Structure 1
Amino acid sequence: MTVSDTTTGYSAIVESALAALDLDDKAALLAGQDLWSLRALPKIGLRSLVMSDGPVGVRGGGWSADDPSLTLPSPTALAATWDPELARRAGQVLAAEAHRKGVHMLLAPTINLHRSPVGGRHFEAYSEDPLLTAAIGAGYVTGVQECGVAATIKHFVANDAETQRFTVNNEVSERALRELYLAPFEEIIATARPWALMSAYNGVNGVTMTENGALQVDLLRREWGYDGVVVSDWLAARDTVGAVVGGTDIAMPGPYTVFGAALALAVREGRVAEATVDDAVRRVLLLAARLGLLDGAEPAVAGAARPTPPDGIETARELAARSMVLLRNENRVLPLSDRVGSIALIGSAARDARVLGGGSATVFPARVVSPLDGLRAALPEGVVTYTVGADPNQGLELAGGGFDLRAILRDAEGWVLAEQPLTVARVRWTDNALPGGADYDAVASVEIVGTFTPRESGPHEFGLGGLGAFRLAVADRELFDGVHELPEHADPFEALTGPPTPHGSVMLTAGEPVPVSLLNTTPQGAIGPIRGISFTLAMREPRLDDDTLIEEAVAAAAVADIAVVVVATTTAQESEGFDRADLRLPGRQDELVTRVAAVNPRTVVVVNSGSPVEMPWRDEVSAILLSWFPGQEGGAALADVLLGRTEPGGRLPTTWPVRLADAPVREVTPEDGVLRYDEGIFIGYRAWQRHDIAPAYPFGHGLGYTDWHYESIETSDRTVRIRLRNTGSRPGREVVQIYLAPSEPDDRRPRNWLADFTVAAAEPGETTELTLTLPDRAFRIWDETSGAWQFVPGRYRVHAGRSNTDLRISAVTDIV
């Protein structure tokens, strides 16, 4: 269901509350109280509203592994299910997590597009196609909000890359904006009615988005009728008058923003009309009313009316399995038999799973099921052997296993202000949320201290991440005593998201604990108005010679019935704050796959990444399975899929190139501060259709464990009827994709475009019939001359198939 519009019912309550506020109250309400919340105003019965990052979990008010979060698969994985109903269930699970953590507003989903495969937050967005993005996003928003939590669609708009993201001006044609980048926002607002929207850092056509009245006022509110709040991305609001006049309602984070006292002053000086402030306050109060945070207002979804959320762990496992995309399956090597004699499991990521992308999307699961864990739990003892094969981690990683650590906060005299146990070697606290309620201004040093028990003997490399003056010592040996500073022109959030710096190695013996200390003597820091303490202890275990590791893996694969190689990207390739330099797998993983495939003809490769990677060995292996960033239950889901207990249900939500050089759209680096979207509407498969080079795997591609025969298609105006039959020996699911093509070539439009899709299920030999109604939007283009949508009647060919290039049957329909 879509939560019904309750604006009218709240009008009198909101107006009464607004009338009781003076200018200072109103201006303060539009500025964040701190990093994650808005202030309470007891005199009108308004309680504090708490926000939290998503989209794969609900982090809550902190940023610490001490407050774990259920961790679902990445947004690319969710989109790969092509299942809006499953996205809705994911939203319900996350809403339950939000209630558990006292969060009212989830800062998700991200519905920007995969314009280029090198986009750094590619894993955090759904697809290259606006229709698929809108369908999955609407399902997610509906699931969150029908459980009484506000969803926030972001980042409005054209926030499709990370390079110079705070300052870049993206030049985008009106048609490309309307047909591609704005389209998912428009559809989700129309169908799921989100209560919040986040304004992006970047500018569009010369105006920064937090001040872009043409898009945030004229289009978003007046044309589309959006009645929710617009919250700035963190630190995106830079000008008081520009932001409030340009349609921004909330400037985050607080308390030092361009709103608050600065906004009250602007009103008193006549630079901003108080009526403009009142409109913003009305929207904030409406949000509070919908959430049940304003006296006299019943929440839009009362507790008794909320659906019972599905089990979180079961949903995480199902979603991961349903999202996995089987790209290749020669000689039906998959699924494996439960009675398989031996499996050589190979790859660093098979043991130390990467379950989510880096940056503000990071949450901390209470547990992680790795591929090694999942397969060993599913099979008899001794079936699965494990070797590293090749280490993709070229740098240090957050110190975790084997460490017993705590953080100690001290004042200038050395007195202990507070202590806190650490589950991972990172501290990340805001100024008003220190352990033990410690006074931020009194903290003179913070030390991560404890012991480390190695699991391997040899040289262990240590380092740190963060800014300030540090002393690092391991096994009573000082490795560093100096200052870390942010490089000039770096992303302001690099201190939080950037890779750690190595500072030396120590010879350690397996099983023998050693003392560890990382002391920060200038712990207080700020990013703009955000004050806090954040730094990290990092480590790298002894690294054997890659030649030795690969030889061990090859030897194991040569004597096994099946070789399963897990290859992966790292946080150095996929994270917030930077775009990708290439699509290659790090380290010698490509060589590893080639060597293993040469000795075992039944080699299965599992690709653990959030976005496309080059696979030069793709024709040398028997099977390729994409696991994306699969969330905390990924290893269990992988075992389900490999052993055939669950069919891999995923289809590609974006095109995968053979190599980066082949991709039609690669440029994400601005020139003189400007990034020109010169390709217009031709991104993703729309661009590949006009390209002389074929991709490795097209949009929509994915195999299952059974076969389907598309028997017939009939059309009548916008109605499409399809009959297909499961001709295989197993039950299965098929994502039926509908593409439209004009009967006569039309250079204004792609060769064909996704118009609708649905999921069919059938038992072996069973026939199923589907009826779809093509939406009006599928026949519209934006006419830049008239500045309006143009309906294009005529004869269209309606294709049904398994991908953008595997179109099985078609029929003609006349649209008038």
Structure 2
Amino acid sequence: MVFRSSPVPSARALGEGVGQLGSKAAERPGDEPAARHGCGSAADDRSPDLSALTRDDKIDLVSGRGLWRTASLPRHHIRSVLMTDGTNGVRFVPAQIDDVGEQADLGAFLDTVDTARGETALLLGRSLPMTCFPSGATMGCSWDTALMYEVGRALAAECRLLGVQVLLGPGINLRRCPLAGRGFEYCSEDPVLTADMAAGLINGLQDHGVGASLKHLACNNSEVERTSMDSVVERRALHELYLYGFERAIARSDPWTVMTSYNRLNGVQTSADPWLLTDIVRKRWGYRGTVISDWHGIQDRPASLLAGNDLDMPQSDARKRRLRTALAEGRVPDAALDGACRNVLRLIERCDRAAAMPPLAADFDAHHALARKIAARSCVLLVNRDDLLPLTATCGHWLVIGSGAMEPRIQGVGSAGVNPRQCDIPLDMLRQTAGAGVQLSYHAGWADDGSIDPQRRQEALEMAARADTVLVFAGTPPDVSGENADRPDLALIPAHDDFIAALAGIHPRVVVVLTHPDAVILPWVGSVGAVISAGYAGQGFGGAIADILLGVENPSGKLPVTWPARLEDSPAFLGYPGEHGTHLYREGIFVGYRYFDARRITPLFPFGFGLSYTRFSYHGLRLDRSVLGRNQTLSISFTIRNDGPVYGREICQLYLGRPEAPRRAIPAHPRRALKSFACVALAPGESRVVDFVLTRRDFAYFDVVLDEWFVPEAVLSIEIGASSRDILLQTELTVAGDSALPRRLDLHTPPGIVMETPHAAAELTEWLAAETGAAPAEALAILDRCRTSFLGLHDTLSWSLGRELDEGALIQVLERINRENGIP
């Protein structure tokens, strides 16, 4: 393996160059994407020769240098890797990149991640202006993996302009509770949607020469005491939901790095958890990339290295000293250090290969157009009474209310913040798109702090009464949530709710545009004409919302989370955000729509919901088989048709449904679960056949006794819908189950279960006859009489015989039965 020294220009020098680019494309020839994994899959890498490196070299190699680089070893021709934040854009702060030392940037780092410090605009102003795409939660509303690939490619171009080799995203923690401060960064409450959208972005990045960092592994679902809180999650929910998104995304995109989270998971810090990082990530999933820590997320460096956390970021001389001491004392073997070094060197080699790829132009005009495009496709039309939208140029006089129309809130707060290169102002874009035929008036509505005095309120109401249509830009309170701070509730700014209700009382044509991080409660929703959820839509928000309102774009966004009618209905309500350092995930596998279905709760808006300006019909559901055998896949097809008057895009959703089971069915299963989806664009009158393929794994649940995925015998429902509550086609499928291993037997297993276990009746009859001197038929009769006991086998038999049986002898018999049944 050859390591080439490839100096990267200083960040300050790059910053000066970027400042002169304006909105023009960077002067770089060539734009062809590399072949998938053209920069190399970790599985293709050969083990590097570490013999020339000293122990100190190796310690440096697995530790950060400054805030954003790995260490370089010039005499070994090993160069550093440059990373930076970027879940919805590239956050590049030249001063932080160039300064070296563990203390140099600590204050800047804490300012960035601590929402309570405020001064958001000032902090963003220190970073170079780059394209600000919609937040992860907003892009999740598009359900468009191809569009995510385009975003990944654009991010790669901007990274390469700056010399950034690894972008620290995407974040894919499940949106378990709408209060979570970083929920705006993450895609969905469902692991399938989350993983597939993430894989699209990662492939777009890595196919064009920039590595991704899939984060935060795992169960970092609250900002409350996030570096010490223990997320306590039962194993089935962990595998089926919180880990499955990572597993599926890794399988579909092979991210160059995976980032551990700050929190503890079932009692162990994730960055130092050998079960998570070695047993699951490395052995079960087969991941061969590089595992890195979140910034200052490692509390015990020797333990984290032993667990499988390869790279400690950022620089910490104290953690390096502790690791050096542990190695010298033999508490950490050199073999563990060598393994981490190999994984870091694989990352460096991938970056070296990427440097040899054809140049990629950073066309900021094209990227802005892309930001506007995905913002429009991510808008979710929640309400449209009497087809109030789209508006037309004949609508006369429009009144626009709300400071968000002039100073839009386009993103969340924290390490995901991007200094936008430009920003479409909604009011300006409405004027431009509507043209001269519409008279537009504007009223700020409320003060910057969200308050409104009676005189301004009355003035706005009088203006509204004279307008033909009223457009209200409303949202959640600014800077009260984000990284390091959860939301206190699901409400909009109180003055916004009050004002919208008052407007709805005097005007039938009130349209509300919402900017928000996650689900919100809308007490006035039944009174207004239309509602659009825009989320945090990035720098193209103004143009996108004008396109949606005026019908230039047909809304096609669908909710990636369930919106509860009230906070108390949310699945995590009783246990969120934990207490005394422990956060119990009490809802188990029933997260999001799974919980609402199980409890038969009507949400405000269901998972997968979103309206359109056209109508779609679904027909002709077909399966390639009615019985799914072992080692078989299932092909599914149906036809969708655009029956409406305009071009539109529909998100077709495939669910695996289960007929209503007994309330206490064991094991429990969700009523339905998303298994795949497709984004279909159709002209009026056009139809198309949509195909899905499910594998055997799609029918499995995680059996905690077997510690493996298991497919039970079942009659299931294949369901096609426009949302989780709007199933339009369905048909039955019989699934042949896996051969189940019998349950492991011990002294406390109830006799009824024991006697149903293969080999048990014969073995126990023989043993009991020898133990008591009874005839075999009499011994079998004794065992049969014990079947109904709820006590364990040993206690039941002892009570039945009137004497204490030898525990050791019975254990030997039960262990022999276990071995005969293949149970270790």
1:52–1:106 Cα contact (<8 Å) kept: yes
Secondary structure of 2:535's counterpart equals coil
Distance 1:257 1:87 in 2: 40
- Runs of 5+ consecutive residues of structure 1 not aligned to the other structure: 293-297, 395-542
Taking only aligned residues, the RMSD between alpha carbons, in angstroms, comes to 2.0
User: Displacement, 1:302?
Assistant: 2.1
User: Displacement, 1:795?
Assistant: 2.2
Can you list the C-alpha shifts for 1:748-776, whole angstroms capped at 9, x where unaligned? 11111111111122111222211111233
Is 1:736 matched up with 2:652? yes
Aligned residue identity for 1:281:
C
User: Displacement, 1:10?
Assistant: 3.8
Secondary structure of 1:734's counterpart equals strand
Is 1:76 matched up with 2:124? no
- Call closer, same or farther: CA 1:598–1:60 in 2, change over 3 Å: same
- Call closer, same or farther: CA 1:310–1:739 in 2, change over 3 Å: farther
1:662 counterpart (565, 569, 576): 569
Higher relative contact order (CA 8 A, sep 6+): 1
Distance 1:365 1:303 in 2: 27
Q: Give the match for residue 357 of structure 1.
A: 412
Aligned residue identity for 1:385:
S
Distance 2:169 2:422 in 1: 23
Distance 1:548 1:364 in 2: 36
Secondary structure of 1:617's counterpart equals coil
Distance 1:8 1:756 in 2: 27
1:51–1:60 Cα contact (<8 Å) kept: no
Is 1:386 matched up with 2:442? yes
1:787 counterpart (695, 707, 711): 707
1:114–1:160 Cα contact (<8 Å) kept: yes
Is 1:719 matched up with 2:635? yes
Distance 2:323 2:267 in 1: 24
Is 1:139 matched up with 2:200? yes
Q: Which protein has the bigger strand share? A: 1
Is 1:3 matched up with 2:3? no
User: Displacement, 1:60?
Assistant: 1.8
1:95 counterpart (140, 156, 180): 156
User: Taking structure 1 as the reference length, what is the TM-score of the superposition?
Assistant: 0.78
1:27–1:261 Cα contact (<8 Å) kept: no
Aligned residue identity for 2:180:
G
Q: Give the match for residue 218 of structure 2.
A: 157
User: Taking structure 2 as the reference length, what is the TM-score of the superposition?
Assistant: 0.77
Distance 2:511 2:318 in 1: 52
Secondary structure of 1:802's counterpart equals strand
1:672 counterpart (557, 564, 580): 580
User: Displacement, 1:268?
Assistant: 1.5
Q: Give the match for residue 613 of structure 1.
A: 520
- Call closer, same or farther: CA 1:234–1:636 in 2, change over 3 Å: same
- Runs of 5+ consecutive residues of structure 2 not aligned to the other structure: 1-34, 95-122, 626-633, 737-824
Secondary structure of 1:152's counterpart equals strand
- Call closer, same or farther: CA 1:332–1:201 in 2, change over 3 Å: same
Is 1:191 matched up with 2:99? no
Q: Give the match for residue 753 of structure 1.
A: 673
User: Displacement, 1:201?
Assistant: 0.5
2:396 counterpart (341, 344, 368): 341
Q: Give the match for residue 531 of structure 1.
A: none
Q: Give the match for residue 797 of structure 1.
A: 717
1:199–1:232 Cα contact (<8 Å) kept: yes
Distance 1:245 1:306 in 2: 42
1:585 counterpart (473, 476, 492): 492
Aligned residue identity for 2:507:
N
- Call closer, same or farther: CA 1:745–1:84 in 2, change over 3 Å: same
Distance 2:139 2:570 in 1: 23
- Call closer, same or farther: CA 1:310–1:44 in 2, change over 3 Å: farther
Q: How does 1:219-234 map onto structure 2 within 5 Å?
A: 219-234=280-295
Distance 2:282 2:44 in 1: 19
User: Displacement, 1:623?
Assistant: 0.6
1:152–1:198 Cα contact (<8 Å) kept: yes
- Call closer, same or farther: CA 1:327–1:738 in 2, change over 3 Å: same
Q: Give the match for residue 262 of structure 1.
A: 322
Q: Give the match for residue 649 of structure 1.
A: 556
Q: Give the match for residue 564 of structure 1.
A: 471
Q: Give the match for residue 334 of structure 2.
A: 274
2:391–2:550 Cα contact (<8 Å) kept: yes
Distance 2:152 2:700 in 1: 31
Identity score, percent: 36
Can you list the C-alpha shifts for 1:664-702, whole angstroms capped at 9, x where unaligned? 322322222111111110010000012243110000000
Distance 1:614 1:370 in 2: 26
Can you list the C-alpha shifts for 1:577-630, whole angstroms capped at 9, x where unaligned? 121111011231001111112222111100111201110011101111011100
2:393–2:435 Cα contact (<8 Å) kept: no
Can you list the C-alpha shifts for 1:3-24, whole angstroms capped at 9, x where unaligned? 1554465426x32xx2221111
2:236 counterpart (175, 182, 185): 175
Q: Give the match for residue 31 of structure 2.
A: none
Distance 2:576 2:722 in 1: 31
Can you list the C-alpha shifts for 1:696-748, whole angstroms capped at 9, x where unaligned? 00000001110011122112231111112111111111111111112462641
Aligned residue identity for 1:799:
E
Can you list the C-alpha shifts for 1:98-136, whole angstroms capped at 9, x where unaligned? 111221111100110011111111111110001100110
Q: Give the match for residue 602 of structure 1.
A: 509
Distance 1:305 1:316 in 2: 18
Q: Give the match for residue 125 of structure 2.
A: 65
Distance 1:349 1:9 in 2: 50
Farther-moved stretch of structure 1 (663-672 vs 41-50): 663-672
1:50–1:61 Cα contact (<8 Å) kept: no
Aligned residue identity for 2:406:
R
Secondary structure of 1:709's counterpart equals strand
Is 1:30 matched up with 2:85? no
- Call closer, same or farther: CA 1:6–1:74 in 2, change over 3 Å: closer
Aligned residues: 658
Farther-moved stretch of structure 1 (360-369 vs 58-67): 58-67
Aligned residue identity for 1:669:
P
Q: Give the match for residue 9 of structure 2.
A: none
- Call closer, same or farther: CA 1:313–1:270 in 2, change over 3 Å: same
Q: How does 1:438-587 map onto structure 2 within 5 Å?
A: 545-587=452-494
Farther-moved stretch of structure 1 (755-764 vs 319-328): 755-764
1:326–1:704 Cα contact (<8 Å) kept: yes
Q: Which protein is bigger by CA-based radius of gyration?
A: 2
Q: Give the match for residue 368 of structure 1.
A: 423
Distance 1:256 1:693 in 2: 53
- Call closer, same or farther: CA 1:34–1:217 in 2, change over 3 Å: same
2:383–2:529 Cα contact (<8 Å) kept: yes
Aligned residue identity for 1:709:
S
1:392–1:568 Cα contact (<8 Å) kept: no
2:64–2:70 Cα contact (<8 Å) kept: yes
Distance 1:117 1:47 in 2: 42
Aligned residue identity for 1:276:
A
User: Displacement, 1:383?
Assistant: 2.1
Can you list the C-alpha shifts for 1:614-660, whole angstroms capped at 9, x where unaligned? 10011101111011100011001110111100111200000011121
Secondary structure of 1:19's counterpart equals coil
Secondary structure of 2:442's counterpart equals strand
1:608–1:627 Cα contact (<8 Å) kept: yes
Q: Give the match for residue 87 of structure 2.
A: 55
User: Displacement, 1:28?
Assistant: 1.1
- Call closer, same or farther: CA 1:569–1:625 in 2, change over 3 Å: same
Can you list the C-alpha shifts for 1:404-457, whole angstroms capped at 9, x where unaligned? xxxxxxxxxxxxxxxxxxxxxxxxxxxxxxxxxxxxxxxxxxxxxxxxxxxxxx
Distance 1:145 1:310 in 2: 22
Q: Which protein has the bigger helix share? A: 2
User: Displacement, 1:238?
Assistant: 1.0
Aligned residue identity for 2:521:
E
Distance 1:564 1:574 in 2: 26
